[in-house]
Structure 1
Amino acid sequence: MREFSLPALYEVPTDGNLTDLIRRNAAQHPEVAVMSRKVAGVWTDVSATQFLAEVRAAAKGLIASGVQPGDRVALMSRTRFEWVLLDFAIWSAGAVTVPVYETSSAEQVQWILGDSGAVAVLVESDVHAAAVASVRDSLPELAHVWQIDAGAVEALGTAGAEVSEETMDLRMVSAKADDPATIVYTSGTTGRPKGCVLTHRSFFAECGNVVERLKPLFRTGECSVLLFLPAAHVFGRLVEVASVMAPIKLGCVPDIKNLTDELASFRPTLILGVPRVFEKVYNAARAKAQADGKGKIFDRAADTAIAYSRALSTPQGPTLGLKLKHKLFDKLVFGKLRAVLGGRGEYAISGGAPLGERLGHFYRGIGFTVLEGYGLTESCAATAFNPWDRPKIGTVGQPLPGSVVRIADDGEVLLHGEHLFTGYWNNEAASAEALADGWFHTGDIGTLDEDGYLAITGRKKEIIVTAGGKNVAPAVIEDRIRAHALVAECMVVGDGRPFVGALVTLDEEFLSRWAEENGKPAGSTALSLREDAELLAEVQRAVDDGNAAVSKAESVRKFRILPTQFTEEAGHITPSLKLKRNVVAKDFADEVESIYRA
């Protein structure tokens, strides 16, 4: 058993709630832009004073509509300015926010609203409103449904016009530090989602220590962050609350379809994303270079960036020759890549899945360090992250200051700290199992090095045991295979089987480029090319790269390219892009069998 901790850098308030932050900002930084929203396609700043006023107006509408302290109010929307506004309005009314993924099915909406006992729901679109309407008869406690696209914010402002300032002031201080701030339903890789109860104290401990440890990234009046993660996900909430706590300017975009354009117009100093975002940026840049006949130059530049970053971790540092090569490629390649990421930032924070050591070194080598972190819904997002001044690529960093990470005798990662959830809503049995002996049992397998840097090696329940008795942690090899531009997703199989196999889906964007470059018929798809010898050879190269990270007994012997994608709609992945292995295994059982048929 091994454990590591760091002293707290932020003193968690003994009382109070998250609305203290927006009142403090208006008092101390009244004219500082704390938000930015799109108006007629143009980013428009929102000052701390203006944001507080808009939050109070919406909160008055909730109060006038009968929302009481402690009531649960659901919020179902894409990431947008109104999401943040209404989240703080719900807290200002003394209520508890229940986020719902905007991609949720009617059945999931029914479960979350029913289990939480939500008295009201704020939805974004006609589609969301229809999903709620289809199950409303089974939700007797649901009294109100407001739609953002139909003027919900304005309607709340009108409804609350008669609520006095004194009433509003009292309601804003009604919630205490240990009261629930939100119930976040885990997307769940198996079974029904469980509602994680996170208190105001949880967010203070989490965001306060993140901001203090990464202080140069959160300079008021200088720094900004663009939120394109789902606001319903706990990582998105970390971005929201930490930005307000600093405060720094926060902008929101609903999806990543036009992310490059949004980054260019907003020009954030800090980006928070998942590994797939950083993989796509790298793969798109490499593909463009190849299309322009500059593929060899790009690959040499990438190798230089990786070598330069690796050298930064050595006592002697980069050699003079490497420094000169790096300076040359900075002018030819690296500067252009930083411009794609907005042109102002030097750091990003990545979570949700492993980034991969090679990609981590590549980004640090181009002058844009991606600080990898690790966390769960139950830990209020990040429970470990790499410090800006001492990142250790290949790890998820050191524990959140003020918390403890312990590695149990069986390798499971255990957590302790004020940032943790207090339990699962309406589920005492699951709470007792997860929070045994004062420690949260994550279900993840990991190691701690001598400096307290954590590495996650797999999931306790996802360990595959082959027929030969070999234990295989699938995450290691899956992450390496998925790093290839052609691969969208990869799932390792082999439990009880004679060897390890893999199911692979193809990235549709890069498949079309590859098909054109390799003389395949126009309109070729994964279905039409899945048995193509050249395509199989290219995917085999990705598999070979993954196999290089593991022992022979753990390596993938055979794989199958699937004709379709793993999708959230089909139930194959969660909104946070985690594989639902049992669903994939069931839906593609014939494909799995074909791997072992011979």
Structure 2
Amino acid sequence: MTSITRLFDFPYYQQEKFNSIPDALVSKQNGVWVKTSTQEYIAKANTISRALLKMDIQKNDKIAVISTNNRTEWHIMDIGILQTGAQNVPIYPTISEDDYEYILNHCGATYCFVSDAEVLRKVNLIKHKVPNLKEVFSFDTIEGCKNWNELLTLGEDQSNQDQVEDRKNNVTTEDLATIIYTSGTTGRPKGVMLSHKNIVSNVLNSATRIPFSPGETRSLSFLPICHIFERMILYLYQYYGVSVYFGESIEKISDNLKEIKPNVITAVPRLLEKVYDKIYAKGAELTGIKRALFFWAIDLGLRYEPYGANGAWYEFQLKIARKLIFSKWKEGLGGNLDLMVSGSAALQSRLSRVFAAAEIPVMEGYGLTETSPVISVNDMRNKGFKVGTVGKVIDGVEVKIAEDGEILCKGPNVMMGYYKDEEKTAEAIQNGYFHTGDIGEFDKEGFLKITDRKKEMFKTSGGKYIAPQIIENTMKQSRFIEQIMVIGDGQKMPAAFIQPNFDFVKEWASLHKIDIGTTNEEMVSNTKVIERIQEEVNELNEKFGNWEKIKRFELTPDAWSIEGGHLTPTLKLKRKIVMEMYKKLFDKIYN
């Protein structure tokens, strides 16, 4: 059996263990799901490797891959690149042209592969400013652009396969595999250097926590592959012989779930919030006994504790709720979904409870790009799941809490460093421990709990510490609040910028026959809307100490987005930029 020490060993291991899975990688093309077997995956990856060698790719060359959606071609390119000893540099498709230019120059990319016309347009705008870049290829057929199929043709001749084998044999587990540029909430992106060992160790040490049936599980993949979370999970799928179906787009996920009927998906909290809100909205439209049953089941779900902790009577009621109500939730998500893995940001406890009650448990984990990424993760089995925590630390990784509460991590998953930045590397890794920038604690059973980002905590002028993420997560439980940013560093009280959930505000206004106007600007200045959101804030404020309560807020007319600059590609708040955008609202609150 192939020993897995480098990333390109995964497909070979899959082929040996599962005798070539017919639907190892599946993408939709022209309305049809096109399957690629493990055998074809490996054959095409080798074809790409042979072509790259004919194009004079050297060990440690950098090849950028920018894809709007996850697709089979990405993985074939990934293995094809890595086998030559070169590095795959994935880039977020939604970043600005300036960031494209910076990253392509910073890593010194010699070739760039893009998914579609829109990404190509952005790259073409800055290509003349990237002297190292020899050529751009696309996965889609685009007039005037070289296509990746040219490499499949160039590599058909197998006479240099021996060279490919030599290159593979000369790649060690300690070698650099990829540079991932973090989206960063401030300043220029940092290039995180991850070795084969970093990611391979993380896959193997996380594998025991994920309850897959090897060779019998189907997944739907739609989170950005350029992020290490989804990428590491996809190597994990290969290790377990999981069939991977690539979602067409975020907008079509609902359709894809029904078509594919996956057993597992990965998600970020924002997406799970939207799924729950959609289910809740449908329930709110019900009448009579159906409506009463729906909200009875929700109330039951919100009190859920694992492993029968609520007692026999609760479990009996839960059995009925699952049969009458929660089974329909599951059906709406394809019918077979029995596991969701969540990362990237803190998950609201209510979502963790209600989805577990519905027998679609969310295994919340924790990690960073710099830790490849998993540090800890929940596991439903063996009492390894606890609501409100990110689980127990995985094997092979050591975590300690510094005096100031910061989480420090040590292990084979910790990055090699930041590319071309020794100073930032030295700041981040001290005495072998990576400083995560997150504040957390262990409970007495060894579960890790994240309380906030070290850099995001602030003090009011009264000397009280405020942890904004906890307050923001609580406030977003209101269906009226889509996004919120807590402010008040050095001020006498905490306040907030709030982006209302405009769709829900319209529904509420229509139901109560209130004229709130038609534009976002009219809605956020409407006194009835402001008063209603104030009620929500007042109610949720009760969960906090007096010094933490949101005393004032201002509504923003913009829908916060990646494109608008409010959010990073992983949907985290760009606090500094949001603060600059709403400087006038800040002054209105505090002056």
TM-score, normalised via structure 2 length: 0.94
Q: Counterparts of 1:505 and 1:180 in 2: how far apart (Å)?
A: 42
Identify which range, 372-381 or 566-575, moves more after superposition. Answer: 566-575
Task: Identify the residue that residue 434 of structure 2 maps to in structure 1.
Answer: 440
Q: CA deviation at 1:319?
A: 2.8
Q: Which amino acid aligns with 1:489?
A: Q
Q: Which amino acid aligns with 2:195?
A: T
| Kept in 2: contact 1:29–1:48 (CA 8 A) | no
| Kept in 2: contact 1:58–1:153 (CA 8 A) | no
Q: How does 1:502-521 map to 2 (within 5 A)?
A: 502-521=496-515
Please, which of 54, 59, 69 is the counterpart of residue 69 of structure 1?
Answer: 59
1:92-148 Cα offsets, whole Å, 9 max, x none, are 232111111111211101111111111111011222222222222222211121111
Q: Which amino acid aligns with 1:17?
A: R
Q: Counterparts of 1:382 and 1:486 in 2: how far apart (Å)?
A: 33
Q: Counterparts of 2:568 and 2:487 in 1: how far apart (Å)?
A: 19
| Kept in 1: contact 2:116–2:140 (CA 8 A) | yes
Q: How does 1:347-358 map to 2 (within 5 A)?
A: 347-358=339-350
Q: Which runs of 5+ in 1 are unaligned?
A: 1-11
Please, which of 176, 179, 183 is the counterpart of residue 175 of structure 2?
Answer: 179
Identify which range, 535-544 or 435-444, moves more after superposition. Answer: 535-544
Please, which of 317, 338, 356 is the counterpart of residue 364 of structure 1?
Answer: 356
Identify which range, 476-485 or 533-542, moves more after superposition. Answer: 533-542
Q: CA deviation at 1:64?
A: 1.8
Q: How does 1:87-236 map to 2 (within 5 A)?
A: 87-150=78-141, 152-164=147-159, 165-214=161-210, 216-217=211-212, 219-236=213-230
Task: Identify the residue that residue 463 of structure 1 maps to in structure 2.
Answer: 457
| Kept in 1: contact 2:5–2:200 (CA 8 A) | no
Q: CA deviation at 1:522?
A: 8.8
| Kept in 1: contact 2:487–2:496 (CA 8 A) | yes
Distance 1:200 1:311, change over 3 A: closer
Please, which of 35, 45, 49 is the counterpart of residue 39 of structure 2?
Answer: 49
Instruction: Report the secondary structure of 1:102's partner residue.
Output: coil
| Kept in 1: contact 2:116–2:138 (CA 8 A) | yes
Instruction: Report the secondary structure of 2:73's partner residue.
Output: helix
Please, which of 279, 282, 294 is the counterpart of residue 298 of structure 1?
Answer: 294
Identify which range, 474-483 or 147-156, moves more after superposition. Answer: 147-156
Q: CA deviation at 1:318?
A: 2.6
| Kept in 2: contact 1:190–1:582 (CA 8 A) | yes
| Kept in 2: contact 1:280–1:485 (CA 8 A) | no
Please, which of 333, 337, 362 is the counterpart of residue 345 of structure 1?
Answer: 337
Q: Which runs of 5+ in 2 are unaligned?
A: none
Q: Which amino acid aligns with 2:446?
A: G
Instruction: Report the secondary structure of 1:213's partner residue.
Output: coil
Q: Counterparts of 2:226 and 2:356 in 1: how far apart (Å)?
A: 30
Q: Which amino acid aligns with 1:396?
A: V
Please, which of 6, 9, 13 is the counterpart of residue 24 of structure 1?
Answer: 13
| Kept in 2: contact 1:478–1:546 (CA 8 A) | no
Q: Which amino acid aligns with 1:48?
A: T
Q: Which amino acid aligns with 1:143?
A: K
Q: Counterparts of 1:492 and 1:428 in 2: how far apart (Å)?
A: 33
Q: Counterparts of 1:262 and 1:331 in 2: how far apart (Å)?
A: 24
| Kept in 2: contact 1:506–1:526 (CA 8 A) | no
Distance 1:468 1:225, change over 3 A: same
| Kept in 1: contact 2:440–2:449 (CA 8 A) | yes
Q: How does 1:446-525 map to 2 (within 5 A)?
A: 446-521=440-515, 524-525=518-519
Q: Which amino acid aligns with 1:42?
A: V
Q: Counterparts of 2:100 and 2:53 in 1: how far apart (Å)?
A: 24
**Residues 1:246 and 2:235 are matched in the alignment:** no
Instruction: Report the secondary structure of 2:148's partner residue.
Output: helix
Q: CA deviation at 1:545?
A: 4.9
Q: Counterparts of 2:165 and 2:192 in 1: how far apart (Å)?
A: 28
Q: CA deviation at 1:544?
A: 3.5
Instruction: Report the secondary structure of 1:462's partner residue.
Output: coil
**Residues 1:530 and 2:524 are matched in the alignment:** yes
Q: Does 1 or 2 have the higher relative contact order (CA < 8 Å, sep 6+)?
A: 1
Q: Which amino acid aligns with 1:43?
A: W
| Kept in 1: contact 2:400–2:409 (CA 8 A) | yes
Q: CA deviation at 1:571?
A: 2.0
Identify which range, 297-306 or 350-359, moves more after superposition. Answer: 297-306
1:149-173 Cα offsets, whole Å, 9 max, x none, are 1273311101222352222322333
1:436-475 Cα offsets, whole Å, 9 max, x none, are 1110001111111122211111111111211111110100
Q: Counterparts of 1:292 and 1:176 in 2: how far apart (Å)?
A: 60
Q: CA deviation at 1:262?
A: 0.8
Distance 1:387 1:327, change over 3 A: closer
Task: Identify the residue that residue 3 of structure 1 maps to in structure 2.
Answer: none
Distance 1:534 1:84, change over 3 A: farther
Q: CA deviation at 1:376?
A: 0.7
Identify which range, 225-234 or 421-430, moves more after superposition. Answer: 225-234
**Residues 1:381 and 2:399 are matched in the alignment:** no
| Kept in 2: contact 1:493–1:501 (CA 8 A) | yes
TM-score, normalised via structure 1 length: 0.93
Q: Counterparts of 2:292 and 2:538 in 1: how far apart (Å)?
A: 21
Q: Counterparts of 1:97 and 1:541 in 2: how far apart (Å)?
A: 50
| Kept in 2: contact 1:226–1:268 (CA 8 A) | yes
Instruction: Report the secondary structure of 1:196's partner residue.
Output: strand
Q: CA deviation at 1:398?
A: 0.9
| Kept in 2: contact 1:446–1:456 (CA 8 A) | yes
Q: CA RMSD in A?
A: 2.0
Instruction: Report the secondary structure of 1:176's partner residue.
Output: coil
Q: Counterparts of 1:183 and 1:431 in 2: how far apart (Å)?
A: 14
Task: Identify the residue that residue 419 of structure 1 maps to in structure 2.
Answer: 413
Q: Counterparts of 2:224 and 2:249 in 1: how far apart (Å)?
A: 8
Identify which range, 402-411 or 515-524, moves more after superposition. Answer: 515-524
Distance 1:405 1:512, change over 3 A: same
Instruction: Report the secondary structure of 1:461's partner residue.
Output: coil
1:542-592 Cα offsets, whole Å, 9 max, x none, are 424542332110111111111112222232211001111111111101111
Q: Which amino acid aligns with 2:104?
A: L
1:370-397 Cα offsets, whole Å, 9 max, x none, are 1111111101122111123120010011
Q: CA deviation at 1:254?
A: 4.4
Distance 1:149 1:44, change over 3 A: closer
Q: Which amino acid aligns with 2:417?
A: G
Q: Counterparts of 1:454 and 1:131 in 2: how far apart (Å)?
A: 41
Q: How does 1:253-268 map to 2 (within 5 A)?
A: 253-268=247-262
List, as ranges, runs of 4+ consecutive aligned residues in structure 1 with deviation greater than 6 Å. Answer: none
Task: Identify the residue that residue 8 of structure 1 maps to in structure 2.
Answer: none
Instruction: Report the secondary structure of 1:158's partner residue.
Output: helix
Q: CA deviation at 1:295?
A: 4.3
Instruction: Report the secondary structure of 2:15's partner residue.
Output: helix
Q: CA deviation at 1:435?
A: 0.4
Instruction: Report the secondary structure of 2:305's partner residue.
Output: helix
Q: CA deviation at 1:190?
A: 0.8
| Kept in 2: contact 1:481–1:545 (CA 8 A) | no
